[in-house]
Amino acid sequence: MSRFWHSVWPAFYRFIRIFEPVVRRLTRRFGLGDTVELAVRRRSGRSRGILLGLLRVRGDWYVGHPNGECGWTRDLDRDPDAVVSAAWLEPTAVRASLLPPGEERSDAIGATFRQHPFPGNVLYWLARRHIRAVGRYYRLDRIEPIGVATPEIVARPEVVAERGG
């Protein structure tokens, strides 16, 4: 079954990418459900914005990828500092922590069935065994003080210190 899901997820994300320009504009201007933009620093040093569903469990924030490692998860593993933003959320500096197997990870994965909009929620529910086996999920801890966060500031802590943050 896992081989099946390893092929379904890339096809699903290719389909979603068709609508990404429209979704990105809606997310930035009006907000769109649990969709946020996560800005991560690439290996090249440039910032990269990814649209993700922000999961909320007991006041904590989570993001994840159902099919294991991908480009943005590798970027986040290399540099865990990022910025989350949406129409309803000021740019917020966060530090990502990869979740090991356990209750917190299971709760974050379970939140996808309840919090993601259709059809994603159904797809996540159908693939739940696969996701529990290979999904990469992160807790996003807000970095205090938040101030005016940009990917450049977050990626270089010395800049935050220089600006008094």
Each residue's pLDDT expressed in tens, for the chain with a length of 165 residues: 578 887 777 777 777 778 777 777 777 777 667 889 999 999 888 998 888 999 999 999 999 999 989 999 999 999 999 999 888 888 999 999 999 999 999 999 999 988 888 778 888 899 999 999 999 999 999 986 445 444 443 443 333 333 333
Q: Which two tokens stand for residue 126?
A: 């159908």
- Give the domains, in start order, of the chain with CATH numbers: 2-156 (2.30.110.10)
Task: Name the E strands within the chain.
Answer: 35-41, 47-53, 55-57, 60-65, 81-86, 89-98, 136-142
How far apart CA 2 and CA 67 sit, in angstroms, is 9
CA gap 145, 35 in Å, rounded: 24
